[in-house]
Amino acid sequence: MRAILASFLLLLFSSGLRSQNTVTVKDADIGPNDQVTWTSNNVYLLDGYVFVDSGATLTIEKGTVIKGLAGNSISSGDPASALIVVSTAKIYANGTADEPIIFTAEIDDINDPYDLDESDRGLWGGLILLGSAPLGNSSPIATIEGIPSTESRIKFGGNNENDNSGSLTYVSIRHGGAELSPGDEINGLSLGGVGSGTVLEHIEIFANKDDGIEFFGGNPMLKWAAVAFCADDGFDWDLGYRGSGQFWFCIQALDDGDHAAEMDGAKPDGNAIYSNPTVYNATYFGTGIDNQQAGGIALLFRDATAGKYYNSIFTDFGNKMIQVEDLPAGSGVDSRQRMENGELILANNIFFGFGNYSTLNADLNTGYIQYTSGAEDSSCQFLIDHFNNHNNSIVDPQIGGISRLPDGGLDPRPSANGPATQSLAAYPFSSFFTEVNYKGAFDPTATGTWADGWTALSSYGYLKTFVGIDRNKPADYAMSEISPNPAQGSVSFTLRSTGSKNVDIEVLSTSGRVMMQRSEQLGPESKQRIELDLQSFPAGIYFIRVSNGASSISRKVLLF
């Protein structure tokens, strides 16, 4: 699928399907000290790198959709589109569970949950917040990755731990991570030197081509975060990140992904400021226990990072469980030293389901643990002792359901009668952390999850319990998945109707050109199989759209 994503650069919207209320935003539209508001009656299309410039404030109303232009900018020639909030600016993007703020690709039809899926990555850039909080860097100021270093406004860092970049609540960032050059993509959400005064709650990153959320130093506090189906790491910290987190969820895709969490300390490793965040109630799912072809080590601690995970669940990985950097003797500070000093802590967590590995040791073939090449202690006994002495366990958390397809099979809640409600670590006295009686990111006794309704995971139909599309309630008319897909020649699907309905069936190219069109009369309470002969079509991606004038449903099909 990734090899043919370039064909999306010819967009459906180029044929005049773009919303009448689309407002194209260019970099010059938010200047220094400007006060700008984006309203929900418009769709905002980012054309290239759009900076919220020095001293400016951008306010985004709940329910607003922001889309990123694919490919080179029309106005500036930038290789991708992204929104960048500079270190002296602020953004207030506060959605709700019923009216989230959505950042997505231009081709994404928000009203059609079937047009894009977990494999559609890199269709635009991403969201970048910069601040003036301290960094563990070779200099107190750094430049954010993903944007050319020739741009002077990408600097971040300083000495204000409580720096305030604004607030993001109920924000879903979808299908980003455009490649600027080979191997150089943009994270879904980049946080560079962001301070603890910034509010970050209910954030989703869905199908990003690079990392989901990456922390570059600073002290940001992140609560209720979902990262799904990214092609690199789920969560990534570096440059002395010292914030806090609670209720973090990661699920990796079947086809791609690296570590659920990649955690680095500082540059250089011995910097006086190094990463040392505290995370409670994480749930990380890998690429699948039987999938050794994709995905990295679940938890990778390196570059002398510290940090703490409590009351969390890590399961369903095809690779090893953990690696804690252990350098050869005399090589300087490493993450092993942080662990032995009590700064790197894994306590009261559940680990379960890691490929074919079955023993708590560093055996190459059977061990859960990956040792560092050239390690001082290649047996990793220091890590084994830490694991056993801090109430960690290797036991089935009894997850409700793990699916990486939009079939309603994802239920990330553990059993209320299982080990996820036993042997919990105490919570600190803090206004940030919520004391709960379970491990992992989701309440096992709740009806549904905090991700219901506002996330792509929910609206696209991955979650078992979600608000929005009720897959158990018959629609006025409905369209099944296309079979076979990918296909060579003919395809078929089923249309169902609860009342007499005349519908148009169209096959469209990615540029929006109608390649085939026909009409069908659906009878009351009917279930009708539709077959389309596409043998004369060139190989590529097409959309099959069924519409009745008032609404439409689209499905993507790949012909080879």
Q: Are 521 and 527 in contact (CB under 8 A)?
A: no
Q: Are 203 and 171 in contact (CB under 8 A)?
A: yes
SS3 459: helix
Taking only the tens place, the pLDDT of each residue in 259-281 is 999 999 999 999 999 999 999 99
Q: Are 204 and 181 in contact (CB under 8 A)?
A: no
Percent of the chain with pLDDT over 70: 91
Q: Are 158 and 193 in contact (CB under 8 A)?
A: yes
E-assigned strand segments in 378-512: 393-394, 399-401, 411-414, 477-479, 490-497, 501-509
Cα angle 405, 411, 412 (rounded to 5 degrees) comes to: 110
Supply φ then ψ for residue 459, to 5 degrees: -70, -25
Q: In this structure, are strands 526-533 and 514-522 parallel, antiparallel, or unpaired?
A: unpaired
Q: Are 508 and 10 in contact (CB under 8 A)?
A: no
The predicted pLDDT at position 549 comes to 63
The predicted pLDDT at position 541 comes to 80
The predicted pLDDT at position 293 comes to 78
Task: Write the secondary structure of 142-157 as one string of H (helix), E (strand) and C (coil).
Answer: EECCCCCCCCHHHEEC
Taking only the tens place, the pLDDT of each residue in 400-427 is 999 998 888 899 999 999 999 999 999 9
Query: Any bridge partners for residue 430, and if so which?
Result: none
Taking only the tens place, the pLDDT of each residue in 278-298 is 999 999 999 999 988 788 999
Residue that is written with structure tokens 């890199």 in the block? 122
Rounded distance between C-alpha atoms, residue 379 and residue 360, angstroms: 10
Q: Could you tell me the two tokens for 482?
A: 């296309």
Which contiguous run of DSSP H or E holds residue 387? helix 381-389
Which contiguous run of DSSP H or E holds residue 520? strand 514-522
Cis peptide before 32 (omega within 30 of 0): no
pLDDT, mean of residues 35-56: 97
User: 525, exposed or middle or buried, with CB in 10 Å at 0-12, 13-18, 19+?
Assistant: exposed
SS3 56: coil
Q: Are 268 and 137 in contact (CB under 8 A)?
A: no
Percent of the chain with pLDDT over 90: 71
Rounded distance between C-alpha atoms, residue 415 and residue 396, angstroms: 10
The predicted pLDDT at position 499 comes to 64
From the list 531, 543, 528, 532, the residue with the least C-alpha distance to 495 is 528
Residue 236 confidence (pLDDT) above 70: yes
Residues 6 or more apart whose Cβ sits within 8 Å of residue 3:
none
Residue that is written with structure tokens 């494999």 in the block? 119
The predicted pLDDT at position 168 comes to 98
SS3 101: strand
Supply φ then ψ for residue 387, to 5 degrees: -55, -50
Residue that is written with structure tokens 């850039």 in the block? 125
- Write the DSSP assignment of 413-436 as a string of letters: EEPTTSGGGSSPPPPPS-SSPPP-
Residue that is written with structure tokens 């680990």 in the block? 351
The predicted pLDDT at position 90 comes to 98
pTM (predicted TM-score):
0.82
Rounded distance between C-alpha atoms, residue 407 and residue 471, angstroms: 9
Type of residue numbered 45: L
Beta-carbon count within 10 A of 512 CB: 17
